[in-house]
Structure 1
Amino acid sequence: MTTAEVWLFSYGTLQQEDVQLATFGRRLEGRADALPGYATSLLEITDAEVVRTSGKTHHLIARPSDLVGDEVAGVVLKITEAELAAADTYEVADYKRIAVRLKSGLEAFVYVAA
């Protein structure tokens, strides 16, 4: 039985090796890509477990932007559906997962402002 794989775009802490090991149990390989039509700001994280895992009290959060040329740089990661569920658990309620088309044309999931 093969495990379905999906693409996940990360512009923040899911790129960190320690976060990947804690969330997925392995280091992920990724490639550079970008999310057009969005810009980032900082979000204060109050979930103690997420702060402990990431080592950061503030994480980037992407929001839609009306400014021409705005895009968010990051990395696209190939993960399993089970790992996607683990990412859902890691992300705090301020984020929601959506499907997007990245600058490369690849369709991927990404966590943006809820």
Structure 2
Amino acid sequence: MQSNAILLFSYGTLQDTSVQIETFGRELTGYDDQLLGYKLAKIAIQDQKVVALSREAYHPIAVVSQSERISGKVFEISAEELAQSDQYEVADYQRVLGKMASGTPAWAYVAA
């Protein structure tokens, strides 16, 4: 891991190669992990740019759950790319530093 790398956990559309290329200008590499203390729900996306990019009108969203966990991928990104992912995510999501099964914290977008 690069010393300036930021870890971002994705359980949804940011795992899609076409979304990564459109959002970050490159395909991300990552590893499997799990976000602890959350479960998946679905949310209707109102932002038509996001729907067009992801090709999905309903996206998964992480909601607090004491005993559950969400599987996904942790990606190494830059501070600039983290700002780009903030732009991609709609207002229904907020970025939090999540507890991961691996023990290494990573940023994750969860229900606002």
RMSD over aligned Cα atoms: 1.3
Number of the residue aligned with 1:94: 92
- Counterpart code for 2:77: I
* Structure 1 runs (4+) greater than 2 angstroms displaced: none
Number of the residue aligned with 1:18: 18
Q: CA deviation at 1:36?
A: 1.1
Distance in structure 2 (CA, Å) of the matches to 1:13 and 1:5: 21
Q: CA deviation at 1:101?
A: 2.0
1:3, 1:80 within 8 Å by CA — same for their partners in 2? no
- Counterpart code for 1:38: Y
1:105 paired to 2:96: no
Q: CA deviation at 1:45?
A: 0.4
1:100, 1:108 within 8 Å by CA — same for their partners in 2? yes
- Counterpart code for 1:16: D
1:62 paired to 2:62: yes
- Counterpart code for 2:49: E
TM-score (norm 1): 0.94
Secondary structure of the corresponding residue to residue 77 of structure 2: strand
Q: CA deviation at 1:3?
A: 8.5
Q: CA deviation at 1:5?
A: 1.5
TM-score (norm 2): 0.95
Mark the runs of 5 or more structure 1 residues left unpaired by the alignment: none
1:82 paired to 2:80: yes
1:3, 1:81 within 8 Å by CA — same for their partners in 2? no
Distance in structure 1 (CA, Å) of the matches to 2:76 and 2:82: 10
Number of the residue aligned with 1:72: 70
Indicate the percent of aligned positions where both proteins have the same amino acid: 45
Number of the residue aligned with 1:50: 50
Mark the runs of 5 or more structure 2 residues left unpaired by the alignment: none
Distance in structure 2 (CA, Å) of the matches to 1:3 and 1:33: 20
Is the alpha carbon distance of 1:57 and 1:98 closer, same or farther for their aligned partners in structure 2, counting shifts above 3 Å?
same
Distance in structure 2 (CA, Å) of the matches to 1:12 and 1:99: 17
